[in-house]
Amino acid sequence: MPIAPAELRKLAGIAMLLLAVGASGCRLVDQTTFGAKRQKPPPDYLTQALQPGPALPLVTIVFNGGEVAYQDELRLAVQMAEARKPGVQYDLVTVVPATGTPADQVATARQGESAAVDVASRMSDLGVDPTHIHMAARSDPNVNTRELRIYVR
């Protein structure tokens, strides 16, 4: 079955158009075409734990030796946070001085782990849902002694 000359010209025109488009280096239009920046993938949990937290913690407990009386301040802070935003999430961040080797910093953070667990237990006794309490640790060159900072979100 022969192809009509008009059809042959039409097919040749389409083939030339496809060849021209393919050879011109065209690319598909996507979000980056109009200046949108690609977003970085979310950091892993370790990276997040090492990043500086919010500027103002709800409570900061400084462990510089001896017994630390924080119960009244913690109770008041938890009551205020829960009254303002029921179901609030708490981040308990153990902050250690950024001195010594990384192994020294990890050892200091591990010492703070039991204190963080004690504070979380007290918060639970105050009525905070344990699933709303999250723990992390990080180093900070601006501190001289171990601290526990409680942030809300």
- pTM above 0.75? no
Residue 38 has pLDDT above 80, yes or no: no
Q: Are 131 and 90 in contact (CB under 8 A)?
A: no
| CATH fold for domain 45-152 | 60s Ribosomal Protein L30; Chain: A; (3.30.1330)
Q: Are 152 and 78 in contact (CB under 8 A)?
A: no
Per-residue confidence (pLDDT) for residue 134, from 0 to 100: 95
Residue 37 has pLDDT above 90, yes or no: no
Domain ranges of the chain: 5-34, 45-152
Q: What's the chain's average pLDDT?
A: 78
Q: Which is more confidently placed, 56 or 24?
A: 56
Q: Are 138 and 95 in contact (CB under 8 A)?
A: yes
- How many whole angstroms separate alpha carbon 45 and alpha carbon 107? 19
